Amino acid sequence: MAKHKTNLYSLFLALLSGALLPLSLAPFSWWPVAIFSTSTLCFLCRGQTIRRAFTTSLVFGFGMYGVGTSWIYVSITDYGHAPAELAIPLTALFTLGMAIIFALPLSFYGLFRKSSAIASLLAFPALWVLGEWSRNWFLTGFPWLNIGYGFIDTWLAGWAPVTGVMGLSGFIVFCGAIIALLTEYTENRRIIWGGLIVVLMVCAGGTGLNTLNWSRPSGEALKVALVQPDQPLLEKWEDDELKRILIAFKETNETLINQDLIIWPESALPTLQNNIAGFLDEIDATLKRERVGVITGIPSSRGSQQYFNSVIGLGRASGNYQKRRLVPFGEYVPMEQWLRGTIEFFDLPMSAFSAGTEQQAPIVIGEVQIAPAICYEIAYADQLANDARDANILLTVSNDTWFGNSIGPHQHFQMARMRALENAKPLLRVTNDGITAIINQRGKVHEQLPRFKPGLLKTEITPFTGSTPFNRFGSLPLVALCFATLFLLRTARRVRE
């Protein structure tokens, strides 16, 4: 078995391959890079101890998050008004933290350093998938940069309704592990060829699954209008801006009374719901008379201590939804007693929210049920799958202005496309400054608005009913399979010893 010392050369190669991996995701979508990057990491970690596998994976993760979440620097400098000499170490600290979380599961690859080639081939993708899964919930979760997203426009996309995005990730890492074994082709050629046959079968299966209809149209199409107001992020929270925003909200809705449903983005009304109760009651009464529904983002409160990032229905639309997965520093401040007030970034508007309850009813218009997700909640595949089972349409509202002109909004948009594909339901995405779009039940973009300019997107959307395997069972079968694989591989090794 080839052994690799954790020297400067291998660490540089790990850093480089990690930094290249985000190129496989939007907006670049150079998906072969993901196979190259993961094969490099597998090669560098193969035969290493737990400690050295952790170090190598840590450096890889630092490169991956350093490039893939570089938009955090934009948020800190452009909207937190922090100087570069402070923003750089803050961004580096976040990147290091994510790299540690990324490296911890992969460090257990060291347990298989003396195992057979087939154990090495199966253990690495299993650990990778468990790593992506753990980043859904560890420390409230940050499920960003799952490599399966980069394959939404390939023949593998057909597997997404069955396994979810993490199933695609696991398969890609399996391909990378096969390439890593090529350095030992002579002694492992049967395993390598067997793995290649599996790859061909999976690719063929994805092509076949792409032709299946997991859901079907249900009911008449709704005429919808998606509003992209392009409001300045920080200025809109100033008191003198509120009156202008409320007038624009009312007048825009009045021009769209021929629509069935009008949707505004996250926090389109930048004040507490209770503060403008009279204004909303007037809007609600007018919309009911016209038989029009409006869904809009607006902060809400419960008493004087709890505030929520919410979406409410007005007129023909009814219901409200409170965001459950909050963005650290953007919507709540960890270690608030120490960080609040130190720099402007830790005092951003909307940074004192509470999380909504786990079980919430959908928003309803007529007989159509709409499953909402606010901002980066769309990255939580299992949460939306649970909500989408009985829903006819998926909805995500966001304010991607925080990302600036970076790769962040494109990554975010790609995640929304994957949620539509996983659940086989059409998805409406409404944002403050883009990317506002309509996505069909196969994850394909039907229509979208350009970024950084106000606009209206009018179309018709047909409700769908039905479910997919992922919609019903979520990630649990895949996670259980990965745990079972690792357990069996370790047990088999103990039996041989």
Catalytic residues: 266, 323, 375
CB-based contacts of 108: which residues, under 8 Å, 6+ apart? 50, 53, 127, 486
Q: Are strands 427-431 and 393-398 parallel, antiparallel or unpaired?
A: parallel
Full 3-state SS string of the chain: CCCCCCCHHHHHHHHHHHHHHHHHCCCCCCCHHHHHHHHHHHHHHCCCCHHHHHHHHHHHHHHHHHHHCCHHHHHHHHHCCCCHHHHHHHHHHHHHHHHHHHHHHHHHHHHHCCCCHHHHHHHHHHHHHHHHHHCCCHHHCCCCCCHHHHHCCCHHHHHHHHHCHHHHHHHHHHHHHHHHHHHHHHHHHHHHHHHHHHHHHHHHHHHHHCCCCCEEECCCCEEEEEEECCCCCCHHHCHHHHHHHHHHHHHHHHCCCCCCEEECCCCCCCCCHHHHHHHHHHHHHHHHHHCCEEEEEEEEEECCCEEEEEEEEEECEECEEECCCCCECCCECCCHHHHCCCCHHHHCCCCCCCCCCCCCCCEEECCEEEEEEEHHHHHCHHHHHHHHCCCCEEEEEECHHHHCCCCHHHHHHHHHHHHHHHHCCCEEEEECCCCCEEECCCCCEEEECCCCCCEEEEEEECCEEECCHHHHHCCHHHHHHHHHHHHHHHHHHHHHC
CB-based contacts of 455: which residues, under 8 Å, 6+ apart? 228, 230, 436, 449
Contact 34, 64 (CB under 8 A): no
Contact 83, 37 (CB under 8 A): no
The neighbouring-strand residues paired with 423 are none
Q: Are strands 222-228 and 261-263 parallel, antiparallel or unpaired?
A: parallel
- In angstroms, the CA 82 to CA 442 distance is 41
